[in-house]
Structure 1
Amino acid sequence: MALEEYVGAIVLEVDGREAEVVSVSPTSRTGKKPVKTMNRTGRVKGFARGVEEHELKVTVVIPLDAEEIDWWHMEGGKLTLQPANARGQRVSYYDCVTLDMGDQYNVDNEARRDLSLFSTRRVTE
């Protein structure tokens, strides 16, 4: 059995600028909802299409001297997740908007910024 290589580190770009990321957790919802009816089988009859949603939880480090991305005012940003080895598929989230921003300070780690974002569109490139 041959060894398989898996996606490792991810690079996050925001409008063409690379962000120093600790973690990214994207969640996408199709918007589909079950249609429940009163029938003899007691099961869902089908589904209805709804609005697609994309939410991203991002944790970045806070730079001391370098210019930081203006996360607070980000509206219409493009976030691209790309495998660091340049092979594999890139995933881009378009029209990103910041919902929540918080800071995290710890004795053992660097200062971090926790962000909640939403996107209107997800594209696999």
Structure 2
Amino acid sequence: MLRSHDAAELADFSTTYSEIGARTFACLLYQLDCLDAALYWWRFAAGAGDPLSAHLLAAYHAAAGRGPDARAWRASARLLGFNDTHLPHPTRHGTTAAEGYVEHLPWNKIPEVLHGFPPPPEGLGR
């Protein structure tokens, strides 16, 4: 979502409060683990008529095990006309993370990071 063409809407969001900007801002907040704020802005965007935001809310509630909420948001997404054309289109293909998003961790440092966790099952690294 944050790599889609909709990310450009985020720059004007503070002045326009567009539904696409709200959805993109919500996705950024979700990535930053600010769940309550992300849900607020997804609801804002869905209420403003963004079908993808309603779909994202349905998917979130389904994953969280909240069936009635998931069904309600799925119905809202359908009423707003959600279909596959509303899914974001990545600006580049691949699974590389943005520069500085992931820290490189040398193999010899992994035991320090995992200190306190149970050891992996025997043969997992083979």
Q: TM-score band, normalised by the shorter chain? A: under 0.3
Q: Give 1 or 2: higher strand fraction.
A: 1
Q: Which gives a bigger RCO, structure 1 or 2 (Cα 8 Å, sep 6+)? A: 1
Q: Give 1 or 2: higher helix fraction.
A: 2
